[in-house]
Amino acid sequence: MKRDNRIFCNQCGKELKLEGDIVREGYFPADVTFGYFSNKDGLRHRWDLCEQCYDALIRSFQIPVEETERNEMI
């Protein structure tokens, strides 16, 4: 969650390392707007997870995330 030009993990509350506007550690930014046929029609949820909380979340999945390696990152 971004507050006062700082970013915090919504799960554990850790402040993420920033240099200017660049996050200098692994994190997962989520931004979803729910559409029709949900109980949240028209609501937007935005949140961030530090890498440790992201890892804990995906370990709880019944179906593992699809993982591929990329050689070039922009």
Question: Domains of the chain: which residue ranges?
Answer: 2-59
* Amino acid 4: pLDDT: 78
CB 57 within 8 A of CB 49: yes
In degrees, to the nearest 5, what angle opens at C-alpha 47 toward C-alphas 44 and 51? 150
* Amino acid 56: pLDDT: 98
CB 51 within 8 A of CB 16: no
* Amino acid 17: pLDDT: 96
* Amino acid 26: pLDDT: 95
41 vs 45: CA distance, rounded Å: 11
Q: What is the mean pLDDT of each run of 10 residues along the chain (74 residues)?
A: 85 95 94 94 96 98 95 78
* Amino acid 47: pLDDT: 96
CB 44 within 8 A of CB 52: no
